[in-house]
Amino acid sequence: MRRFHALNPEFGFSKFISKKSFTDPSNGYLVDDNCVFGAEVFVIKNQANIECVSTLKAAVPYKHSFRISNFSKLQDVRISENFVLGDQIWSIVVYPRGQGKGKGIDVTIFLHLLDSCQKLKVNYTIGIKNQYTDEHRVARDSRWFTPPDDGWGWYSLIPIKDMNDPKTGFVVGDCCIIEVEILLLAISQNSLS
In DSSP notation, 132-177 reads SSS--EEEEEEEEE-SSS--EEEEEEEEHHHHH-TTTSSSBTTEEE
pLDDT tens, residue by residue, 24-36: 888 888 888 888 8
| The model scores a pTM over 0.75 | no
Question: For position 85, what pLDDT does the model report?
Answer: 82
Give the β-pairing of 106-115 and 152-159.
antiparallel
| Spatial CA neighbour of 5 closest among 46, 34, 40 | 46
CB atoms within 10 A of CB 96: 22
- Name residues whose C-beta falls within 8 Å of residue 49's C-beta, 6 or more positions apart in sequence: 190, 191, 192
| Stretch among 23-27, 75-79, 113-117, 146-150 having the lowest mean pLDDT | 146-150
Model confidence band, residue 48 (pLDDT cutoffs 50, 70, 90): low
Question: For position 68, what pLDDT does the model report?
Answer: 96
- Class of the domain covering 54-192: mainly beta
Output the average pLDDT for the chain: 86
Name which residue leads in pLDDT, 54 or 165.
Answer: 165
- Name residues whose C-beta falls within 8 Å of residue 14's C-beta, 6 or more positions apart in sequence: none
Question: For position 157, what pLDDT does the model report?
Answer: 93
What percentage of residues in the chain have a pLDDT greater than 90? 48
Question: For position 115, what pLDDT does the model report?
Answer: 74
Whole-angstrom distance, CA of residue 151 vs CA of residue 174: 27
| Stretch among 12-26, 34-48, 127-141 having the lowest mean pLDDT | 34-48
Question: For position 14, what pLDDT does the model report?
Answer: 76
Question: For position 163, what pLDDT does the model report?
Answer: 95
Name which residue leads in pLDDT, 98 or 41.
Answer: 98
Model confidence band, residue 108 (pLDDT cutoffs 50, 70, 90): very high
For the chain, which residues make up each domain, given as ranges?
A: 54-192
Q: Is 104's pLDDT higher than 80? A: yes
Q: What is the 3-state secondary structure (H, E, C) of 145-157?
A: ECCCCCCEEEEEE
